[in-house]
Structures are given as C-alpha cells and as structure tokens.
Structure 1
Amino acid sequence: MAALLWLLIPVAAAGIAVVYASWATRNRKTGDGAELAGYERFREAMQRTHSGSDAL
C-alpha cells in the first residue's frame, strides 16, 4: 500500500503540471485597442503647435 502512495505522488504532480501548462498557454485576448488609441491621441496632441499667446 505504501508503494502505491509513493507512485501516486509523481502521478499527481504530473497531472498538476499538465493542468498548469494548459492554463499558461491559453489564448488570451488583449484589450490594448483603447490604450493604443489614447496614446496615439496623446502623441498627436504633443506634436501640434499650441495656439495662443506665448507670454505666460
């Protein structure tokens, strides 16, 4: 019986490793669209010349 317990430990570890590997390589959808659009607006605003008086 003790031999079966020692055999169960590596089998369980291998099962956990398979579950973790499948979870780690899952397809994730990135939501970078809004962030990239905001960054592009920021870059355009920084490249524009400011309209107004230079005397501050």
Structure 2
Amino acid sequence: MAALAWLLIPLMAAVGAGLWGSWASRHRKAAGDGSELAGYARFREAMERSHSGG
C-alpha cells in the first residue's frame, strides 16, 4: 500500500503540471494590443521630436 502511495505522488504531480501548463498557455484576448501599440507610437514620436530638435 505504501508503494502505491509513492507511485501516486508523481502521478498527481504530472497531472497538476499538465493542468497548469494548459492553463498557462491558454489563448488570451488581444484587445489590449491596440492601446499598447498606440502608446508605443506616441512614445516614438516624442523621442523623435526630442532628438531632432537639438
């Protein structure tokens, strides 16, 4: 019976790792990309203005 318990520990760890891996690699919505790209474009424009004015 003790051997069965020792075999179940790695089995449960493998199942938990599989569940965590599938949860971690899930597809998230890309709705925030538009605002991030717009912010990056504003940052680039500001940096170009500060360097070209000197």
TM-score by length of 2: 0.63
> TM-score w.r.t. structure 1 length?
0.61
- 2:33 equivalent in structure 1: 32
Deviation at 1:36, TM superposition (A): 1.6
Runs of 5+ in structure 2 lacking a partner? Answer: 50-54
Q: How many residues align?
A: 49
Tell me by how many angstroms 1:14 deviates: 0.8
CA RMSD of aligned residues (A): 2.6
- In structure 2, the residue matched to 1:17 is 17
**1:13 maps to amino acid:** A
SS in 1 for 2:3: helix
Q: Which runs of 5+ in 1 are unaligned?
A: 47-56
Structure 1 residue runs of 4+, over 4 Å off?
none
Q: Which secondary structure state, in structure 1, belongs to the residue aligned with residue 15 of structure 2?
A: helix
From the two aligned structures, give the one with the greater helix fraction: 2
